[in-house]
Structure 1
Amino acid sequence: PQRMPEQSAVEAAFRYLPAEQRSGVGGDWFDVIPLSGARVALVVGDVVGHGIHAAATMGRLRAAVQTLADVDLAPDELLTRLDDLVLRLSAESGADTEPSGAEAAGDIGATCLYAVYDPVSRRCSMALAGHPPPAVVGPDGTAEFLDVPVGPPLGLGGLPFESMDVTLQEGSLLALYTDGLIHSGHRDLGDGLEALREALAVPTGTLDSLCDHVVHKLLPEGPADDAALLLVRPRALDARRVAVWDVEADPAEVARIRSNAGRALAEWGLEDAAFVTELVVSELVTNAIRYGDTPIQLRLIHDRGLICEVSDSSSTAPHLRRARVFDEGGRGLLLVAQLTERWGTRQTAAGKTIWCEQTLAAAGGPLLSLEGTAAI
């Protein structure tokens, strides 16, 4: 990406160094992708080889990751889907490869790191597909590599990936990178990791200056292979901007929950959003009581927008349908979709969450804090 998307979960800086400087493109990629619930996805990937073939494959894989991230898959499941895609691309490219080709287009392989960070709980879930481990710089300035289970590179097929959850402390820093940054002709992988650890531990002030310092220390003569570096400083969403209520499976609960939501908006100074929010809360909570399973929970998050989430233990995903004139129901989600900026659903370990988000053009910016917050 040429610039970072607007989001509140992390502060980010990056450097991208293609091996072929003239073309300005390579087989490495990275992304910062806003997700529902104020969360963010962090991605770094590396396609085998460099040049135009690697860049073309990289573009397809990057688009696939963005699409799968929008579905809100867990990191291990997303890498499984991406592995299937690489297998298909390899099969298609292999059938069209000419024997005289300079690069064997059929030998498509890639590595990837996919992580999801939640600024409410400070939890980060991540999975690796043959990729170097991420590094964490603690509040005391010491750097270490996370012991994330390393799955197979993309394109092998049939082998599992495993996610790992970590809590990122206040004042910590997360470094994601590709092997072009740490591996060179005069340095093996172990020495490269140690050089990266030492470079990250040097206090430099801003993330941009730290990016420059790391690149200068590890690649003083420029990259021999494509290299990418993504540094992120996680933020915590102030607990005062999060409201949570448990909901009993009783239609009478809807009025109580709607009233609670209205009071929370008044405390946040968002009275102008009360009408739409109370209507959306009524629809989503009613649907959860009628069609979902207990336990049911409502969560409001005041971030850059106003996020409403209703969770229950049923894994059945809802879908929009057009109600007929004399139908007495079937308009709830359509109403939510029309009244809010965007909406969706994501699977959770305990069931599913239906969410929607309103824009708050007149509201102030999100109240963020780097102080430690309790998990909700």
Structure 2
Amino acid sequence: MSDDTPEAHRAPRRADPEPAVVREGLLLIDADRHLLYANDEARRLLELPTDCESRPVRALRLPDELLTLLDGGADLTDTRITAHGRTLGLDLRHTDRAGGPPCLLATLRDTAAPANPDTARRRLELLYRAGGSIGTTLDITRTCEELAAALVPAFADFACVDLCEGVLDGGEPRPGRHGALHRAALAGITARPPLLLPGSAVPLVPGTPRARAVATSRSVVEPDLSAALDVWDEVRPGTVDAMRDEQVHTLIAAPLSVGDTLLGVATFWRARPRPAFDDEDGTLAEELTARAAVLVDNARRYTREHTMAVALQHSLLPAGLPEQQALEVASRYLPAQAGVGGDWFDVIPLSGARVALVVGDVVGHGVHAAATMGRLRTAVHTFSSLDLAPAELLGHLDALVNRLDQENPRPDGGERPITGATCLYAVYDPVTRRCTFARAGHLPPAIVHPDGHVEIPDLPGGLPLGVGQLPYETAELELPEGTRLVLYTDGLVESRAHDLDHGMKLLRAALAHPGRSPRQTCDDLLDALLPASPADDIALLVARTRAVPADHVADWDVPADPAAVARVRAAVTRRLDEWGLTEQAFAAELVLSELITNAIRHASGPIRVRLLRDRALICEVWDGSATSPHLRHATDTDEGGRGLFLVAQLAERWGTRYPTSGKVIWAELPIGAPPGGAAGGAEPSITPRTAA
């Protein structure tokens, strides 16, 4: 039911009321000690200039005693200071309890004795209790609910908070759009108060108490609503009986404003036999909503920044996994509730049917961590396209992180935080069933054998990226087909509830089940280890190994004799006929003829040819030279230079990789649908929080 009523009789406000209500001055100060907001009472008590906002606090001629306490860094309650001949009560409270923007909220009170000490004491106690219970998180709805709950039943029988459009989403408030507010909180002394349910759109009707509160930026007191009940149905039909049943007879509408920005309206009702609201109650409601408005605006700004950071991070993470045949893959990413982090994962197809698995974690939270993660992920893709060995790739990544720490100094001249990151890079070869690992300070992977046995291999650890310049080491393991590789970040196994050792025990127990698919393994791990309120984001990658069948691989040793090219072409043709790939024989012969001829003419032995039947027909020529061929544009008079151009035209992809010795020139020719069903790894990789 709407709280908008036609204007009832309003008790006249006294021009200069007795100080029965202790008014509070509010200051909001950011981490750089600039004043973000000061209400009228704070300006009066501290004699602040009209242009005080956005200025450094040390430029405002504040008392030295107050400046010392502001720099002290501690929360304070009911501390006495002297300012301009007044003794003031001071409360200091930091607003970053849940990881939000590090602001400081200062509350000031003139401690001069009021005319009605008992009334002032009770209301001051209400201010204290409300101040301690409002704004405990950086959630907008929760802050509004805390405001409503703090005043019911201590101040009112029913209370609701309605916000302008856009505020709940962290955007700029749009009070005039569509002429409606959105209910964010509702509290009452009965289980079902006679008001609109939470989440309802409430019209802002001109002439009503809330509309007048918005127009004047002051609280509006309606001491007697009895005359309005007969016409209440004109505003919101069907609510008169409910109002009369609850005997609601008076209300206060107080704007939620920060400076000139209107965020919404808070409305309070009383039912008989409680007395009607008066002007002093209106002043108290105004003070309470002024404090709450600062906290709501702080939560709104945090929500906006958090939403932008999450959108940035999700745009930098893979939206899906690439098609490949070597691994069946499932992944999960869950952002932390406290803020965006720098965790990431990747699955990167390589040449020769191999696949790279990557999991990394950038130190810190926020947009800087997310942006750094995006740069590192791009760098990993770039380095992996060069087919670098895992340890060599991490060495290049370490050098990149060191450069990131040295570039782009802060505008204020301060030092940027050290980037720092951990990373685990693994390459699986389905032909040899061997997996090569290298890690830079990251947690080791878990290996689940087909029988359910869980192994945490003792891999060389290495320093985190950006910490040192020592070379990284590589370890190689042979994995039976059907082995599950589990790569994860520390947010999965380490939390406030338990340490790392206990988390690793839980990890082992959750994995010790044979026959689980990668998707089911992800679900098992999150069910067993995911904390109720994750303080860190979580990246999880589970891959089950497959092997290329032996009859899908063919290789030949080639003597350094041009006559051998014809014999290899004939052998290749026969093998492709056996595989049912006769249509690919012509292209394969042309590609292999060119690559073998180049190896015989320009490289050194031994020379070997290998064919792989995977998603594509992979042609590889191995030789003992480290010289890489280069594609060039041959002119009409050139005698050579057209062979690699022909290879590039026939192949989907081609390139060069460097094993321990020599090189491999490879080309992939399309053959249609892969054998054995669809390729693995098309599952979406971003998991909403609710799915956990």
- TM-score when scaled to structure 2? 0.51
Q: Secondary structure at the match of 1:48?
A: strand
2:558 aligned residue (247, 251, 254): 247
Is this contact kept in 2: 1:123–1:166, CA < 8 A? yes
Runs of 5+ consecutive residues of structure 1 not aligned to the other structure? 369-376
Maintained 8 Å contact 1:91/1:106: no
Corresponding position of 2:129: none
- In the TM superposition, residue 221 of structure 1 has moved relative to its aligned partner by 0.8
Aligned 1:281-292 pairs, distance under 5 A: 281-292=592-603
Distance 2:371 2:491 in 1: 18
Q: Secondary structure at the match of 2:491?
A: helix
Distance in 2 (CA, whole Å) between partners of 1:257 and 1:270 is 17
Which residue type is aligned with residue 331 of structure 2?
F
User: Following superposition of structure 1 onto structure 2, how do residues 24-39 of structure 1 map, counting pairs within 5 Å?
Assistant: 26-39=341-354
Any conservation in 2 of the 1:97–1:105 contact (CA below 8 Å)?
Answer: no
Equivalent in the alignment of 2:336 = 19
Aligned partner letter, 2:612: I
Q: How far is the alpha carbon of 1:279 from its aligned partner? A: 0.5
Match of 2:669 in 1: 358
2:666 aligns to what SS in structure 1? strand
Do structure 1's residue 344 and structure 2's residue 655 form an aligned pair?
A: yes
Q: What is the distance in 1 between the residues matched to 2:662 and 2:411?
A: 45
Counterpart residue number, 2:321: 4
Note the 1:160-179 alignment, pairs <5 A: 160-179=471-490
Q: Secondary structure at the match of 2:636?
A: coil
Aligned match of 1:199: 510
Q: What amino acid sits opposite 2:328 in the alignment?
A: E
Q: Please give the alpha-carbon distance, in whole angstroms, between the structure 1 residues aligned to 2:498 and 2:664.
A: 47
- Contact 2:401–2:419, Cα closer than 8 Å, also in 1: yes
**Structure of greater Rg:** 2
**Deviation digits for residues 150-203 of structure 1, max 9, x if unmatched?**
111000232110011101113211100011111112322222112111111135
Shift in alpha-carbon separation, 1:367–1:296, aligned structure 2, 3 A = farther
Distance of aligned partners of 1:17 and 1:357 in 2 relative to their CA distance in 1, 3 Å threshold: same
Give the corresponding residue for 1:305.
Answer: 616
Cα distance in structure 2, aligned partners of 1:252 and 1:288: 13
Shift of 1:205: 3.2
Q: Distance in 2 between matches of 1:322 and 1:220?
A: 59
* Residue matched to 2:519: 208
**By how many angstroms is 1:106 displaced?**
3.3
Map residues 32-111 of structure 1 onto 2, 5 A cutoff.
Answer: 32-93=347-408, 95-96=409-410, 98=412, 105-111=416-422
Task: Name the amino acid aligned to 2:451.
Answer: D
Following superposition, which runs of at least 4 residues in structure 1 exceed 3 angstroms of deviation? 97-100, 202-205
SS of residue paired to 2:465:
coil
Letter in 2 for 1:74: A
The Cα offsets for residues 1-26 of structure 1, whole Å up to 9 and x where unpaired, read as 121110000001111111148x7x53
Task: Check whether the contact 1:238–1:367 (CA below 8 A) recurs between aligned residues.
Answer: no
Q: How far off its partner does 1:254 sit?
A: 0.4
Counterparts of 1:294 and 1:215, CA distance in 2 = 52
CA distances 1:233-265 after superposition (whole Å, capped 9, x unpaired): 010011111110011011111000111111111
Alpha-carbon separation, structure 1, partners of 2:438 and 2:418: 23
Query: Aligned-pair RMSD on alpha carbons?
Result: 1.6
**Deviation of 1:359 (Å):** 1.2
Shift of 1:204: 7.0
SS of corresponding position for 2:471 = coil
- Measured against aligned partners, the alpha-carbon deviations of 1:290-342 in whole angstroms (never above 9, x if no partner) come to 11111110011111111100011111111112222222212111110111111
Look up the SS of the partner of 2:658 in the other structure: strand
Counting matched residue pairs gives 360
1: CA distance, partners of 2:425 / 2:350: 13
Q: Distance in 1 between matches of 2:337 and 2:578?
A: 55
Q: What is the rounded CA distance, in whole Å, between the counterparts of 1:204 and 1:221 in structure 2?
A: 28
Q: What is the percentage of aligned positions where both structures have the same residue? A: 59
Q: Give the counterpart of 2:449 among 138, 144, 156.
A: 138
- Equivalent residues of 1:83, 1:154 under 8 A apart: yes
How big is each residue's C-alpha offset from its partner over 1:139-158, in whole Å with a ceiling of 9 and x where there is no partner?
22111101110111000232
Partner of 1:371: none
CA 212–99 in structure 1, closer or farther in 2 if over 3 Å, else same: farther
Code of the residue aligned with 1:278 in structure 2: it is E
Cα deviation for residue 206 of structure 1 reads 2.6
Q: Which stretch has the larger CA shift, 202-211 or 64-73?
A: 202-211
Shift of the 222–122 alpha-carbon distance from structure 1 to 2, 3 Å rule, reads: farther
Task: Give the counterpart letter for 2:333 in structure 1.
Answer: Y
1:53 touches 1:105 (CA, 8 Å); kept in 2?
no
Alignment partners' CA distance in 1, 2:336 and 2:412: 25
| Match of residue 372 from structure 1 | none
Amino acid at match of 2:532: E
Tell me, in whole angstroms, the C-alpha distance in 2 between the residues paired with 1:321 and 1:186: 60
* Alpha-carbon separation, structure 1, partners of 2:469 and 2:544: 35
* AA in 2 matched with 1:64: A
